[in-house]
Amino acid sequence: MPLHQWDYLFAFGTIWAALDAYNIGANDVANSFATSVASKSLTMRQACVAAGICEFLGAVLVGARVSGTIKNGIIDLAAFQDNAGVQLLGFTCAIMASGTWLMIATYNSWTVSTTYSIVSSLIGVGIATGGGDAVQWGWNGGKGVATIFAGFLIAPGISASFAAVVFLITKYAVLVRKDSTRAGLYIIPFFFFAVASILTMSIIYKGAPSLNIDEFSPNITAAIILGTGAGVATIAALFWLPFVHARVVKQDYTLKFYHMALGPLLWSRPAPADAGSREAVPDYAIRARNQNDDVSDRKPTQDAEKAQNDDHSDEKASHRSSEAAHPELPKDAPLQEVDAHPIDGPWVLPKNLYIIARYKALPFLKKILLHGSSVDINALQSEKGTKDEARMAEIHSRAKMYDNKTEHLFSFLQVMTACTASFAHGSNDVSNAIGPYSAIYEVWSTSLPVGKNTPIPVWMLAFGGAMIVVGLATYGYNIMRILGNRMTLMSPSRGFSMELGASITVLLASQFGIPVSSTMCITGATLGVAMCNGDLGAYNWRGLAWIFSGWVLTVPIASISAGCLMGILLNAPSL
């Protein structure tokens, strides 16, 4: 029977669980996809669609059906003294503090760990409820408070090492070869095998708790992993290889992504007559300034001046055509101020209501909803004429840009890595918001204190997955704009190495009980790849200091906020 006298606590828990999941999408998922967008392997809208599908399916299909109500063994259950009301209040305070801190951090473009946020909030609740002894301060099998502080260095350090190894293998096996494109075509199918195998292990051991496939025998598990890797490598050899060969070597710019289904038939597909006259692959170069540019102020070149003059000529021609099309307008009247659908008469008239709904409200609503997925992240990262632009140019000048066609080969691997990691993230980290909420719902609906584990209904996973997707699509750009190329030069080969290195770290950490955060892993992986340039100046150390500060501040701010809120409400006088 529901505790109706505490309906307001359930309502607060629902609102802040939604806010918590929203900010997981805006902060954590955006952090993971920043490398893909910054390297131009995905556009912002493509990243939102890919992450949205993978995160939601991961949360709903293979998300945890049972959640430990005491997240990561932080609080001893005895601290609540089997009091259902105190449990309900405690988890509500924890999720409110966590959601509020994540909202503040996301608004200020601070990359923080969503896992550490909820764990820190539970620390505060535990202290307020049962004192210092109610909190597991030690290692506690890799689940205690000590693991939080250890994770600050363990996760980035291990991830940086793995990402550096992956990039160095990629660099010397493909990127610096005399004919790097041909070398990539030969070697990358084997990369598909390795990546698919590693990502399958990641899903088995971390990202699919409800399938219980981590309980399979070693032989069956090995067969699943190797079979998946071999299957993906075979598909890559049959369909991906002829597709990229036609696009990269034959310069067939007419190919679309769905032509990949033609597979071996593409080997004999003739290239268009004007092949080579236009680029068949995207340009992955960072336009700020490359390593050959002078970072100091320079005068524009003749080509730039000519392009500038051409732009002015185009603007004048466009202005003259606008005047001809609208002779009744004054010469200084901007064309965009002309209302094509003006309101004539009282707005309550049926025709005016239709105009408002069709031409005013709907476009405005569309603009609001799609704004987050249409932002140019690279433009936000380098605003012209600012100190940041000069600082980024200096960082980028110390990193080598490799052959554009070869980089295109790695964009496929990067997208596959990002999507699989996103699937695992959705199935695992949705519990950061839904885990405490499931305890709130269980206590409120049954009037009984929860036990060691709490079942999570599918509708809760769908609710959390949906809010994660909305968070990324509407506000993820605010985190992406301070990552990616602001930290170091990005490219598909570098981004692929970073994401794979982070995935390997998460996989091994899950096996050995080492505390890691996906935020910390991708940050460490970015540092490791940047150091492969052999120049300390190829990385934004100031940006790393800000990111690290956000990690450290999460623990005291979230725990103190939750503890104070719990203490005040728990000890408030009864009127």
Buried b (16+ CB within 10 A) or exposed e, 458-478: eebbbbbbbbbbbbbbbbbbb
Of 57-66, 83-92, 236-245, minimum mean pLDDT range = 57-66
| Residue 305: predicted pLDDT | 43
Residue 312 predicted with pLDDT over 50: no
More confident residue, 65 or 330: 65
Distance CA 359, CA 337 (A): 15
Of 4-8, 179-183, 460-464, 490-494, minimum mean pLDDT range = 4-8
For the chain, give the mean pLDDT. 79
Would you say residue 114 lies in a domain?
A: yes
Distance CA 116, CA 248 (A): 44
Q: What is the pTM of this model?
A: 0.78
Distance CA 256, CA 269 (A): 13
Would you say residue 224 lies in a domain?
A: no
Q: State pLDDT tens for residues 360-392.
A: 777 777 777 777 777 777 777 666 666 777 888
Would you say residue 138 lies in a domain?
A: yes
Cα 203 to Cα 48, 52, 507: the distances in Å are 21, 17, 8
* Section 391-420 average pLDDT: 87
> pLDDT band at 300, cuts 50/70/90?
very low
Of 216-220, 358-362, 550-554, minimum mean pLDDT range = 358-362
Closest CA to 89 of 423, 564, 569: 569
More confident residue, 220 or 360: 220
| Residue 241: predicted pLDDT | 92
Split into its structural domains, the chain has a count of: 1
* Count of all residues that appear for the chain in the document: 575
Would you say residue 296 lies in a domain?
A: no
Helix axes 180-202, 492-512, angle to 10 degrees: 30
| Residue 255: predicted pLDDT | 87
Q: State pLDDT tens for residues 94-142.
A: 999 999 999 999 988 888 888 888 888 988 998 898 887 777 777 766 6
> pLDDT band at 513, cuts 50/70/90?
low
* Section 199-210 average pLDDT: 68
Distance CA 479, CA 32 (A): 10
Residue 106 structural domain = 4-208+396-570
> pLDDT band at 70, cuts 50/70/90?
low
Distance CA 268, CA 181 (A): 20
Percent of the chain with pLDDT over 70: 80
Q: How many CB atoms lie within 10 A of CB 85?
A: 17
Would you say residue 527 lies in a domain?
A: yes
| Residue 140: predicted pLDDT | 65
Residue 527 predicted with pLDDT over 90: yes
Residue 501 predicted with pLDDT over 60: yes
Would you say residue 215 lies in a domain?
A: no
**Sequence-ordered list of residues with C-beta below 8 angstroms from that of 225, at least 6 positions apart, any chain:** 197, 200, 201, 204
Would you say residue 455 lies in a domain?
A: yes
Residue 402 predicted with pLDDT over 80: yes
Would you say residue 262 lies in a domain?
A: no
Residue 470 predicted with pLDDT over 80: yes
